[in-house]
Chains A and B, each alone.
Chain A
Amino acid sequence: MSGSVRSTGAVARLSSLPGVSTASDMAAATGRGPATGRLLPVRPELSAALPLGGLRRGSTVSVRGSRALLFALLAEATTRGSWAAIVGMPDIGAVAAAELGVDVRRLAVVPAQGTELLSVTAALLDGLDLVVLGDGLLARHALSRQQTEKLTARARHREAVLLAADAFPGAELELRCTPGRWYGLDESGGYGYLRERAVTVHGSGRGAAAKPVRVSVLLPGPSGGVAAPHSSGTETSRVREAG
């Protein structure tokens, strides 16, 4: 036990040297280029919530409870060259998406899909790595089970990832975000500004995701992106006054 602790310490020391990187870093670096991999990468803080550590191509994922989580899932893949489209969410905060790490130059928004939800989504799945269906879309369009299955099959066939900001029947993986407390506001009121929020991401699903997982992260973190949670003891003392 202590041996392994020491060795990770040694690795940390080594990898802090300039020019030295760990094998997993190297693997990540050579794995660049999302066109080749079977997994679309996500931010390392979120990979623990996903059974494979990334978004499996061809899968359908339901993401509920937080748009920030949705954007954070798109972040890594878009910065590595994947294209993403968001259908039926005309009111997204694109600035927040950019702050969470999404390369918005590779993000398209279909604000009003009219009656063409199925054909639009199918066309996007043909050409893009990531397609997001906005919340409430399934209900508003009264999609039948057969129609949702068609979309799932399309995603699987085109090796794209279909993300639904909704409960999605037949989703391989379900991510649910339960919000926690916000940091940055002064208790007495009026001072500071929203800086970061602790959330818990629950992952559950079928197959490889059968075992439920729970991951705590800061979403958004101090600089707007995803961050590792504060270690428990320093939680409150970290709140800094600003403004």
Chain B
Amino acid sequence: MPSHVAFPGRVLVLWCPDWPVTAAAAAAGVSPHVPAAVFAGNRVVTCSAVARRNGVRRGMLRREAQSRCPDVAVLASDPARDARLFEPVVAAAEELVPGVDVVRPGVVAVPVRGAAAYFGGRNSPDAAEHAFSERLAEQVSATAGVECQVGIADGLFAALLAARRGVLVPEGRDAEFLAPLPVAELDQQGESTTEFVDLLRRLGLRTLGRLAELDERTVATRFGHEGVLAHRIARGAAERPLSPRRPAQELAVEQHCDPPLERVDTAAFVARTLADRLHAGLTAQDLACTRVGIYARTEEGEERHRVWRSARPVTAHGVADRVRWQFESWLQAGSGGRPSSGVVHLRLVPEELVHGAALQLHLWHGAGAAGGTEDDPGTERASRAFTRVQALLGPEGVCTPVLTGGRGPAERVEFVSWGSSPGKPGEQAPWPGRLPAPSPTTVPARPVPAAVLDDERRPVSLTARGALTSRPHSVAVEDGVARNITGWAGPWPVDERWWDSAAEGRRARIQVVTTGDGPALLLLLREHGKPRWIVEGVYD
């Protein structure tokens, strides 16, 4: 087994507890004293300390969380928002010390050595680190108004866990610190190792120490690459860089953007192709990257950059996500923070490399594809195909439907371009007045006019009390042939803009079935002074 190489440097991790909740609550204007939890896919992702005291736990179903804590504020998960609101915290830390890396929204890593010596004066190294960490925590809470905890260790993973416990692990003692901790700690948020951790637990390897005791070769044969990675992390010897030198510059990828990037979605599109290129370059040399720098230059020559860091090699998707979040925080920052012009030059630099041989599978199996589906080879293959189509047709060329709230068939779906983050799903809310299944299989994009007549060929309209003025007898779609109606149902009033009633009149829907086995139609009455029906859906 290779012995540990010299530690590249001590790492300080600054951790804002339950950041997604803090960010979501701040964005939604929920007081920090109200129990709150962030949900994704109907399960708790993160909850605030108050909610936790009331029995809410991570992974819990929404119903259960609400039964334990009825007044819990339900907030939607949104990594982009988390990243955007985190930017001031990073900036606050950066004021004090250069070289701040973002690990994920809510967590930053800072190299300790020089900084501690600077702030600690002539104290012993331990005391200097102590002084530095206090100073940094103070700075962040004073400038950004955010509570945080600090931990220091030799490796990033150990430092992350140390920050959760608020301890400073002495130099060279990472393994000792990690040994008694449960293996579940390997399952850091945002990284999909749940299954592997489960397996370890079922095999009786309950602590990181027990895992570290195993021989690396044994671990490799039994658990494969993921096991080796976890084993290295558990030994406290994880993320040593390949070499202390800065990685070769030719691995960096860049792109000139014309027209300049001014919107998050176009930036996200560029980011994805760039991330794919970065990874193609790295895999060709059998490398993977654990820190990636995002550099942007605006039209007016303004330079921005931020380094993102991860305990595990970041995937192509991971890089693309981080670039998107970064753009979100740059472009949607307040008046002072927003660059004065569009970004014309974007550059991704792998700042730290590890051997990629064992990690090639990981490179492509990035989580976080649009739509939140589980990652698998099929998804990766599909997303490469979509990227190619987008290259032909533009970002809007490939869309995925996202079911949202609403009553009409068109309102219930939002088409988002592939790779951009979907809007907030509103499917959970009850929508009184929504028609039950089946829904129309065709929903015309443009309104298609239709004429609905009764048996005396008078147009059918709506009475003031919401009933049809007469029985519908025939329907003609877009000046086509009138077909006889054999069955109909409704009218269902559309109560959406009732306050607008003076302007538009009450609207209502009917379903009709016509002769000759033509498709059934969903019709919407727009105005009823001079009745105008439109085909809102076709059932075929």
Contact = CB atoms under 8 A, between A and B. Distances in A.
Interface of A: 34-35, 65-68, 71, 81-83, 85, 90-100, 104-114, 116, 119-120, 123-124, 126-129, 178-180, 182, 184-187, 189-197, 220, 223-224, 243
B378 A116 contact: no
A30 to B, nearest CB: 18
B517 A93 contact: no
A174 B397 CA distance: 29
Interface string B506-540: 00000101000101100000000000000001011
Nearest to B487: A185
B403 interface: yes
A224 B393 contact: no
Interface string B369-395: 001110011110111111011001100
A193 B511 contact: yes
Contacts of B403: 94-95, 98, 104
B438 A179 contact: no
A220 B435 CA distance: 15
Which range contains the number of B residues in contact with the other chain?
Answer: 35 or more
Interface string B453-496: 00000000000000010010000000000000001111000000
Given A93-B537, A95-B439, A189-B488, 7 more contacts: A35-B378, A81-B376, A120-B392, A127-B384, A185-B489, A186-B489, A224-B437
B399 interface: yes
A187 B398 contact: no
B418 interface: yes
A67 B443 CA distance: 11
Contacts of A243: 489
Contact of A194 (B396, B402, B445, B520): B520
Contacts of B372: 105
Contacts of A116: 392-393
Given A93-B537, A99-B438, A106 B443 contact: no
Interface stretch (B2-10, B310-318, B354-362, B407-415): B407-415
Nearest to A224: B437
Contact of A108 (B377, B418, B517): B418
8 contacts: A68-B438, A93-B413, A93-B441, A107-B400, A111-B415, A112-B397, A127-B381, A192-B489
Given A93-B443, A127-B385, A109 B399 contact: yes
B442 interface: yes
Contacts of B413: 93-95
B412 A95 contact: yes
Given A81-B376, A95-B403, A120 B439 contact: no
B32 interface: no
Interface in B328-373: 371-373
B168 to A, nearest CB: 44
A66 B511 CA distance: 18
B281 interface: no
B92 to A, nearest CB: 38
A119 B392 contact: yes
Given A66-B540, A83-B382, A94-B413, A193 B399 contact: no
A242 to B, nearest CB: 8
A108 B437 CA distance: 22
B401 interface: yes
B88 interface: no
A243 B397 CA distance: 41
Nearest to B414: A94
B441 A67 contact: yes
Contacts of A110: 389, 393, 397-399
B379 A83 contact: yes
Contacts of B114: none
A75 B438 CA distance: 15
Contact of B371 (A105, A124, A126, A187): A105
Interface string B422-447: 00000000000001111111111100
B400 A224 contact: no
Give 7 nearest A-B pairs by CB, closest first: A127-B385, A224-B437, A94-B401, A83-B382, A220-B438, A185-B487, A67-B441
A173 to B, nearest CB: 20
Contacts of A113: 393, 397
B519 A104 contact: no
A90 B397 CA distance: 11
B487 A187 contact: yes
Contacts of A197: 520, 539
Contacts of B513: 182, 185, 194
B495 to A, nearest CB: 16
A93 B487 contact: no
Contacts of B402: 104
Contact of B378 (A82, A107, A194): A82
Contacts of B442: 67, 91-93
B130 to A, nearest CB: 49
Given A83-B382, A120-B393, A99 B437 contact: yes
Contacts of A123: 385, 388-389, 392
A182 B389 CA distance: 39
| Centre residue among B372, B435, B437, B519 by max chain A CB count within 10 A | B437
Contacts of B517: 178-180
Contacts of B539: 68, 96, 182, 194, 197, 220
Contacts of B511: 185, 193-194
Given A112-B393, A120-B392, A224-B439, A190 B384 contact: no
A92 B415 CA distance: 11
Contacts of A179: 517, 519, 540
A107 B392 CA distance: 19
A83 B386 CA distance: 11
Contacts of B468: 190
A104 B468 CA distance: 36
A105 B374 CA distance: 10
Contacts of A104: 400-403
Contacts of B490: 190, 193
Contacts of A93: 409, 413, 439-443, 537
B378 A81 contact: yes
B399 A108 contact: yes
B443 A108 contact: no
Contact of A220 (B373, B376, B396, B437): B437
A106 B286 CA distance: 31
